Structure 1
Amino acid sequence: METFSNNLKEQQPLKLKIDANVVRQLGEELISDPEQAILELVKNSYDADSDWCVVNIDTTYQEEISGVTYKGRITIEDDGVGMTQQQISKGWLTISYSEKQKLKKEYKLTKKHHRSYQGDKGLGRLSSMKLGSVLRLNTSTDKDIPSLFVQLNWDEFRPGTTLDNIPVQLSQNEARNRGTKLEIIGLTDLDKWKSTESKRELQTKLSSLISPFKIDENFNVFLNIDKNDIDLSKLTEDVLKIAVVQFNFEYKNGILCCLGKVKLPYYLGTKTQSESRYNKFIKSDNGQEFYNFLNEVSNLKEYKLKKLNNQKETDWFMEFSQEYNWQDITAYKTPYESPGNFVAEWNYIFLGNKAFRILSNESGLEDINIELVKTLTGIGVYKGQFRVGKSEDDWLGLAKDKTSGEGFYSLRPENTIGYFSFPAYEGESLKEKSDRQGFVENEAYNGFMSIAKKMIAFSNQFLNRSRRASITFTENKNLLENNRPETFNAEDAILEIKNLTSNAKSKKEKVYQSSKETVVVIENAKKSIDSALNDLFLDDKAREVIQILKNQVNLVNEKYLAFNSEYDGFLNTLVSHEISADKIIYRLEQFEKQIDDFYDFTAIGLAAQNLAHEINPQLDDITLNANEIKKSLQSLNIQNINIYSQINTIIRTTQVIAKDVTLINPMLRSRREKMDDLNILSVAQNYIELREERFKSEEIKFILLDEQLSINIKFNKGKFTQIIDNLVRNSEYWLNHFYKINNNDQKKIFIQYTPTGFILWDTGPGIREGMDQVLFEMFTTDKVNGQGLGLFITNKILNQRGCNIRLLNELNSRNRKYKFEIDMTGAISDGN
């Protein structure tokens, strides 16, 4: 035993070693593709405070190193601060060590351009492994001192070789200008870099990875492939010239400012008739009359519109803007927090249609490659000059919105090019994933997505509403041009056709009689002519003239008979359309009835949705309490089989109810047609009592005022309860949302009774400016996943009984309208 111990002491101390293959695996996992690898190396140039960075790819290059011939070279060179030997040894050659990580935590910026550092994981140099075999570094911190030269070979990072056995060459070279030159020799997959398609793919990928939007004017990246210079920003600049709509956003200190610009060709339809009306009614005066019309469209009043000085179709026609406070932006997911300041720009481009051809031709870009444009589509997120994640994925969910109620003209991912940009350290709470392919889903990410959803809503609502308004405008102008009033609708058109067919029926007999008389006149004329020709004393000249007259009369007769036949057929067809007109009138009446039914069925659907949402927590409580009772009985050693059986029955029943809730059909329509005698105070009190536990858990208090003024009405109880439910749920939502931001405020809902109905308000944020103009329109909402139907349906249900709802002009402490007045005059009982 003693001998064994002495032998241990004589041996070298144990050391932990790392196999070189681990480094190779690390590089493979963290760098997704060659383009991303180049991007990581360009980031190093950016962090080095350089003015420029040149990426040179030479597929024809060959060099022999240690007896091996390597083909192809990538050079990345900059004029940055360079590196000292200590920085190379401690930083660049130490895997995962990053001095930048410390600088970022201390919110330090680069000295010259005041940039935030992009790299922070100490893994950027592994990017070169993805590109080729031999890595060379030539760097200088001052043009008057020798530069440093480093070389290593990634091929030597093989399994079975430890890191301390990997040779790294270090030497001094002649002095050079300050900066760094990185060479990767012996390119991996050389053929990829040679093909024309791959070169174009590299251009477009780098154009999106290295921001093509000129976010940082002090950093220019140049790309050269096989002696061909490629401008990474030129392609994007050309594409943006053919955008029909542009959106600019700035989120700063809790305020989201949204500004959009639109060109006239956005309102150019795809049909020939639409194009004709666009040219005649919109383009002819550069959109001036159309702009005046838009200012009167009710659901556009939440936007601030401004006419621009457009002289041609490539000019911007109009601006539209809106502002939102952080308190107005509802959560995409919770918990959420403000992600920091950022700016964004989105460009909407029509590909291949008439608007695209107009804008590309007038911009001198008629030869632009549509397929190349498609490769740039998507919205990227940039921190500084560099993109995070992949923009080609529809990570914003733009495709979903076009299937929503208002979404036919919405942004589409394949037609949108744009970016989000976080400057300096504003977005530091947004954490990048280690593979650089997106963000960690934390509170800041949820806040960022909440703001992004609000930006999408701002954009899509304007696109849909203004596009539909353009159709209404051109239709109205066309009606006026054809002597029809703007109020001329489908019913008027059908009645016009009905009258036309009825008149045709009455005139058919008159035409028939006139036709018979005309035939008789012509026949008499022919007889007179024949009689004259038979006159023996007629000279040859007169006979010739009369013969010509006879021929002309015969020709008139033939044409008349042909015309009369066609006209008679036309009248018969027109008369037969009287049945068609009656059928259309009948269907229109059915449609009107179905629209009324739609409001009822939608209301039923909302009620079912609310009930399903509300009942599940109650069923969970029942199941939980039943199980607690079982545990209590067991702890007391009570073995009554009947009690256990009844408890199990309760649990099974709640499970069945929970399952049936998904198929529930509340408040049959026949019940909703019945009129009930109601007292509005009693209905409200009953509603609150039934939901007392929920409101108590949410700390929401109800305050009823002037109860003695409560009136009796004749109204369907289910519908009136739903009116209250829609209003209360709206208040409940905004109180809970607002409380998360201002948790020192109390959550209260007030109902004040009046001689004609009641007024309801709450202590929430109130209605933001602009929204108060369109509050009762269909599909209008500020909620992230809201349907925009609650207040719309409430208004329709009230209107059916001659009642109404309006937003009073009184302002709350936040200078916003906040009180809803419900006027039940049309439903007041005679007994009041």
Structure 2
Amino acid sequence: MAKIPFKVSARTARLIGRENIASSKGAIIELVKNAYDADSSLCIVYFSSDSLYIIDAGEGMTQNIIINHWMTIGTNNKETDYFTKTGRVKAGAKGIGRFALDKLGAQCEMVTKFNENIHTDLNEHGEKSNYNAYHWNVNWDDFEGEFKTIDKVEADLIGYEELNYKDYIKDNINNQKIHEIINNNDFTSGTVLQISNLRDNWEDYFIEQLYSDLEVLIPPKEQGNFQLYLFSKNNVNKYGEVLGSVCDDYDYKLVAKADENQNVSIKIFRNEYDLETINPKLFEYELFQKESYTKSDFERGYWEISTSFGELLPGFKKIDTDNILSQIGAFDFTFYFMKRTYMTPDLEKFFYNKFNSNERKDWLNKFGGIKIFRDEFRVRPYGEVKDSAFDWLRLGARKATSPAPTSHPSGSWKVEPDNVAGAINITRISNLNFQDKSSREGLQENEVFKVFQNIILKIIAKFEEDRAKIARQMWLFYENVNMDAKNRKQADELAKKILEEDSKNSYQTNNNSHNTDSEKVILAKSLRDKEEEIEKLEDEQKMLRGMASSGIVVASFAHELGNLKDILNARVDDLKGLLLDKAPASLFFGTPDFLNPYVLLEEMKAQDNKLQNWLNFSLASAKKDKRKRKKIYIKNYLTSIESSWNTILMNRFISLSIECNSLDDIDMRVFEIDLDSIFNNLIVNSIDSFMVQKNNSNRIIEIKQSDNDKEIIFDYFDNGIGLSEDITNHQDIFEPLYTTKRNRHTGEEIGTGLGMWLVKTIMKEYDGSVKLLYPKNNGFGIRLSFIKRYKKGEV
């Protein structure tokens, strides 16, 4: 009987590799891991105009390594040889990482110089070769073709007898920052991958996303061991070293360490409470007499507990016939809890430390989620922001089943996934049963992994129990000390009860009783309306406080920005004057524009003018006199609006037409900043509308002012795209946080949703009215009507 071998088509082999790399970002991460496995101290990712480069300073590859490992699909050398020469645990394992190259582009060139202190290069006869480096080239499209098997696809390999690796990189990559890194590091050996004919559109939006992904690729504590850089030719100064963020602004921190014997040590740090504001009498309560809750424990800032897998999952050992607990292995877990915001009354009730909520939100939006790291590299997509696996522990579902507040008597408070961050560190050595999915997108979710998830949840529960116990006692203390607040609550409950009874007994016939009850109902309704009004005003205050922060920043730096504005006036002319003495413009006749300093200076001057106009606009908005109610002459004010926006609109080919139809020069006594808010928001919306308009016809904004016996009227029009057809109720645009501005790549909302709400809110404060108009040209129109009591002499 004949023995016949299997054959694999080249296309199938390619699909096995390429389809097992889930995304282009994942492909780049695989190549970064290769640099780490090569014992490189750093890796550089560089986007040129038409290629992507991955550069490392690792040990490089000999001819034998290229042929028997790099060119062999699915090699298992990293599974059998875990450690690199310097003792790192290798991050790769499946031998398909090189197909990441195919995922990224159709053409790939590799230049690699091996470290001669580590490797000896042998030729096909087993003799030492004369080469110290190699050039490898492949066209992935060669894998396509009918009846073509994998052994018929070839790559080109050329040897170099003498290659200066550092000079090769500098000669082929024209980027000064990369040159500086190469000059300051040991680049005697390493590998450069150049990927061309890229399959994806790497606009800056996607490069920025990649940069964010790389920021959480390596735990911050490991960054001294392996540095990662990203650069883009189109944004020279935007990117650089990829640095993660160590969290030091937390409410609670939990550090858990599990060993091979299933023992777990847990250390919980409390940073939520302002000890200086805590009433000493609180520590007389029974809970605060117990270990871990005494005043000295609070002053120390942490407490510790020792437990085990069996204690964390009571009863599981008896049914663990497959010895799953013993298969989990050692790991460590760092967990952070961070409130995104707080109500002012809570500061008094729960003695919270104050914090900057905007900074916290920004940090959590970028670094939030509980992530898994294996051998110093992140396992995607666990804890990845905006991914379905962000809440892989299902903390949200857990919270939904137990929505109790922190101070609930049951003590069943559960943490929300949006308020946590953390890192779980595992290794291929200790956690053998945590295997990658072939797609490199997560771990195989077997029984071991599911039990592991439950152990993590039980560790988190230790923090939840601690916080809930403390919050309950603080709430009781507050209730006892603040009887007035308790009485107000009782009044609210009584008012609610009266209104409910009034609804049931609306046909009561007893007149005396009816009069008494009517008085109660009037008081109850008044109290309810006041509460609703206060709540609404508090919500508005929060939104306005957030919006004010950017204005405060501008106002704080007004003097410095004013000096910068003055410098911009003359710096290009000064430079040109100095240059003329040394190299007159005639020397550069016939020189390409991108090499002509005089052309570059003119471009720089144009950019300075744009920056200067923005500064003029911003500083004018921050003037103190705009925050005072004063007499505003309408014609002069509209002229100033036209002047402020003139350059910005001209640069976008938008014309602004202003028409004042009042016979007299009418004045209004208003806050100028209120008028600015109205017209600036309308003009910004018009600009956004024009920017997405497919038809580049004449772009026109019109402001028409008129008046009658009762009103001063402003009609505002543009010929942009108008209100979206998807808005079923056009009045919704005046609701807070309502926006139709969306990211064209993801569909996410990018507008604040506050502009038109501000317009209506301001008009309401002046007892004015707002009415949408529908111009014939299908653009946008709105009428703003101020009643004439704000006219001259009538305020």
Task: Tell me the TM-score normalized by structure 1.
Answer: 0.47
Structure having the larger proportion of residues in helix:
1
Task: Tell me the TM-score normalized by structure 2.
Answer: 0.49
Higher relative contact order (CA 8 A, sep 6+): 1
